[in-house]
Amino acid sequence: MGEPFYITTAISYPNGRPHIGHAYEAIAADAIARFQRQAGRDVRFQTGTDEHGLKMVQTARDKGMDVRALADEMSSYFKAMCDDLRISYDRFIRTTDADHHRASQAIWQAMADAGDLYLDRYEGWYSVRDEAFYDEKELVDGEGGVKLSPQGTPVTWTAEETWFFRLSRYQQPLLDLYAANPDFIRPESRRNEVMRFVEGGLSDLSVSRTSFDWGVPVPSSAGHVMYVWVDALTNYLTGAGYPDGDMPYWPADLHLIGKDIVRFHAVYWPAFLMSAKIALPKTVFGHGFLLHRGEKMSKSLGNVVDPGDLARAFGVDGLRYFLLREVSFGQDGSYSAEAIVTRVNAELANAFGNLAQRTLSFIAKNLGGALPEAGRSEDADGQLIEEVVVACAGLKTAFDDLMLSQGIESWLRGVYACNQYIDAQAPWSLRKTDPERMHAVLRTLVRAIRMLAIVVLPVVPEGAGRILDLLGVEDRDHDAIDDDGWYQRHVDAGFVLAAPTAAFPRLEMPAAEPEP
Ligand code: ME8
């Protein structure tokens, strides 16, 4: 096993059903996890649901449901979404899990032992939607003079006795951390935002609540439950085995989250960990938001679509490919049915799917499925392989640096090079005139398709997996890409190709866009 690589998504609030933003984050994390597994890392991938807090209590009350029943039901939809989208998580954590309560109480105790917790009275603004406290100076005026959080959500005045965490103590240690580790917060724009915020000064943070009891009980403090973000952030440690054992996957390599919750992950979380004397995660990456036709998704606009419906309409691979290819990772992106259909048909179905389909069915039909022997090679063959090697290396370098769309662009350059090659070499016309040359061309194409299918597996695991299954390719790690001997060994082993079915079917424009 290689070096550990621990990657997490945010854990979602199960106060409603999952939406495309949740699907996007899970898909991006999954592509990175699959990529790192191929690179030989010992990957641990965690996702899940964040089930405590006032938002859950209020939603359950509005629905006339028991809060635990609401959490159970909605959490199951998030898990089903992950399974539908082929998210290869190792653990789907629920913050109501017993080991998570233990971990949360252990980190609380460690912060208390460090002298960082004290009891006082909290008076200030709270947004239930964001589950966040805000300073008066951060608020903005909404319609009719109502006060709104900087995220545009309603705030209410709260006053209660709570435990406080001495966040103010960590201003300088946090600034030192950002300065010493430029990759701690990515991308750069988010890093700058966080640095400005911390430079502005940090107030101590209220970290317990007494007005409701749906949370992790504070150790030795009857009537207090932890502020939901304290327990939510601790999920990453729970999944790593805290507080028992040697925690081989900690510190986390990557917390992948949306831009709206960077402050919690890049300010509060490292401060809690420093206080508890636990190693800090290496990178917090705040991805952008997904918009529908350029507009924010919201229940009131009626444009919140179930990701399961999108996957049924466009295929799991189609949806995954579109999201990772279209959105420059870290920035906001927009989707629509036309954009998905256009992109998937042009790049996945035509450029790559059709290349594989034409090549493999030609071999199945005309050579009885036997992979051609060497034939008579020409310079163009070596050139194509070289271009494909460069394209695959480009994807690897980009994915390693979380530049997902750029990685796919590099892969596409390899795919387009194959298309130009097949058009220029026209193996179909060589069949009668020059079979020796045709053999060399087909052989080159099979080698190129194998490499391109392996490297794109993290993005489109089903279709690329189907092509590799057809070709009888078992070894799918990065090492296999550069295995020049594969083809000949495979031929020598007498492999016979079956007639292929399309790995990436063309999409039809749906008569109506999947409805909310
Ligand atoms: O914030 N586009 O949960 P959540 C892209 N429980 N990403 C989006 C999005 C959109 N339109 N809308 C939301 C929470 N997200 C907390 C996290 S972690 C210890 C606790 C992202 O269900 C959002 O940024 O509101 C977050 O990363 C994730 O979906 C879950 O959001």
What per-residue confidence (pLDDT) applies to 301? 63
What per-residue confidence (pLDDT) applies to 312? 93
List, run by run, the mean pLDDT of 10-residue segments along the chain (516 residues).
95 95 97 98 98 96 97 98 97 98 98 98 93 91 89 92 97 98 97 97 96 96 97 98 95 98 98 98 97 74 80 96 97 94 97 97 93 92 98 98 98 98 95 94 97 98 97 97 94 92 91 66
Residue 232 CB–ligand 1 contact under 6 Å: yes
Coil/strand/helix, residue 27:
helix
Domain 4-287, CATH 3.40.50.620 — does that match?
A: yes
Atom of ligand 1 nearest to the CA of 236: 19
Ligand 1 centroid to Cα of residue 257, in Å, is 7
Cross-strand bridge partners of residue 290: 333
SS3 annotation, 206-245: ECEECCCCCCCECCCCCCCEECHHHHHHHHHHHCCCCCCC
What per-residue confidence (pLDDT) applies to 299? 60
What per-residue confidence (pLDDT) applies to 475? 97
What per-residue confidence (pLDDT) applies to 108? 98
What per-residue confidence (pLDDT) applies to 386? 98
Coil/strand/helix, residue 140:
strand
How far apart CA 457 and CA 369 sit, in angstroms, is 24
Ligand 1 centroid to Cα of residue 30, in Å, is 16
Residue nearest to atom 30 of ligand 1 (CA): 12
What per-residue confidence (pLDDT) applies to 1? 76
Domain residue spans of the chain: 4-287, 344-493
Ligand 1 centroid to Cα of residue 9, in Å, is 9
344-493 shares the fold of 4-287:
no
Residue 261 CB–ligand 1 contact under 6 Å: yes
What per-residue confidence (pLDDT) applies to 192? 97
Residue 104 CB–ligand 1 contact under 6 Å: no
Contact 103, 243 (CB under 8 A): yes
Ligand 1 centroid to Cα of residue 2, in Å, is 31
Q: Is 279 exposed, middle or buried (0-12, 13-18, 19+ CB in 10 A)?
A: exposed
Candidates 3.40.50.720, 1.10.580.10, 1.10.260.40, 1.10.730.10; CATH matching 344-493: 1.10.730.10
